[in-house]
Amino acid sequence: MTRASRARRLATGAVYGGGGVGLAGAGLVALLRQEARLARNRVSSRAAKGDPPTGEGRYGHYRGAPLVLAVLGDSSAVGLGVDRAEQTPGVLVAAALAELAERPVRLVKVAVSGARSAHLAEQVAKVLPQRPDVAMIMIGANDVTSRSKPALAVRDLAAAVRALRAAGCEVVVGTCPDLGTIRPVAQPLRTLGRRWSRQLAAAQTMAVVAEGGRTVSLGSLLGPSFASDRSMFSSDEFHPSAAGYAAAAACMLPSVADAIGVWPAAADRGPRSLRRDSVRPIARAAASAAGRSGTEVQPTSVDGEDVGPRGPWARLRRRRPPQLPEATPVEQPTGVTGQ
C-alpha cells in the first residue's frame, strides 16, 4: 500500500466506519467497556465545578461596527475546567482578533458542554441571527467517547459549515483532539482512542474543506506538551487548564484572523516563523494534518483547477503560535460577568 493510499484510508476511515471496535473479539470489547467505565468514573469524581462565565460581549477599544465572532461546539469551546471568562478560548481569540483588526469584536458563544456534532444544527440556528463574520467550532471529542457513528458526526459537521458559509460566515474548525493523551484512560483503550480521534479529525477535515471552511488540527494541541505536561490539564485530567486553553487559542487565532483577512503576512516571515506551506490532494492533506497538531488545512486550486486527479486540492499551513494579549472586555451583555 502506497503512502498516498494509506493516507486516503486514514482520512476516509471514519466516514465509512473503518477502524471500529466492531472488528474486535468479544473479550476485547468487554475489556474496553470496563476501561471506559473506569475512566468515566475517575473523570466524574474529579469533575470541574461547572461552566465558566460565557465572556460574551465586546472586546477592543476601537470605534466602528464590530466584527462578530461566533463560538460553537462542546466543552472545549465553552472552556470547561477554568474559572474565569478571560481564560476561555473564545475570549482569548476575540481579544486578540480586535487588536489584529483594529476593530471591536463582539463575541457570541453558543457552545454547550457535552455537545456532539449532532447538536451543531441547533447551535447554528441560534447564531445565524447574529450575522457572524467568522465562526470558530471546536467539536469531536464527545463523538468519540460516545462512540457516535463517524459518518453521521461528519455529516452533521459538514451541514453546519455549509449553513454558516451560505450565510457569508467564514468558518474555522478545531478538529477532534487526541484522546490518547488523557491520563485516566488505560491501555489498550488509550491507543484506540488516539486512533479513533485521528480518524475522525481526518474525516472532519475532508468534510469542512469541501464545504469551503478551514480546519486546524488540535491533536494534542501543541505537539507532545499535553502528553508530557500535566499542567495543561485541569483537575479532572480530561479538560484543559488555563494554560491548555491558551495553547488552543494561540493555535486557532492565525487561521481565524487569516480567514477574515486580518492576519499580517509579516507574522509568517522571518527566522522565527514555522510556516510550512504545501498543496496536496485533500485525503493526503487531511491524514497529514491529523497527525500533526497546529496544521491548518484550507481549500485551494492548482493551475486554476479546484480538483485534481485524486480529488480536491488542499493547502497545508503551519504557523508559530503567537503571544495572546490580555483579554479584557469593553462591554458585556447585561448580567454577564467576566470573573
Residue type, 265: A
The CA-to-CA distance between both ends of the chain, in Å, stands at 54
d(CA 315, CA 8): 16
Chain centre to alpha carbon of residue 204: 10
Task: Determine contact, residues 222/62, Cβ cutoff 8 Å.
Answer: no
> Which alpha helices (DSSP H) does 260-300 contain, by range?
282-290
CB burial string 231-240: b at 16+ within 10 A, e below: ebbbebbbbb
268: DSSP letter: G
Active site residues: 75, 236, 239
User: For residues 222, 226, 231 and 235, what is the CA-based torsion angle, rounded to 10 degrees?
Assistant: 130
Residue 81, judged by CB atoms within 10 A of its CB (0-12, 13-18, 19+), counts as buried
Tally Cβ neighbours within 10 Å of residue 243.
16
134 by DSSP, 3-state: which?
strand
Q: 275 is written with which cell numbers?
A: 510556516
H or E segment at 244? helix 242-259
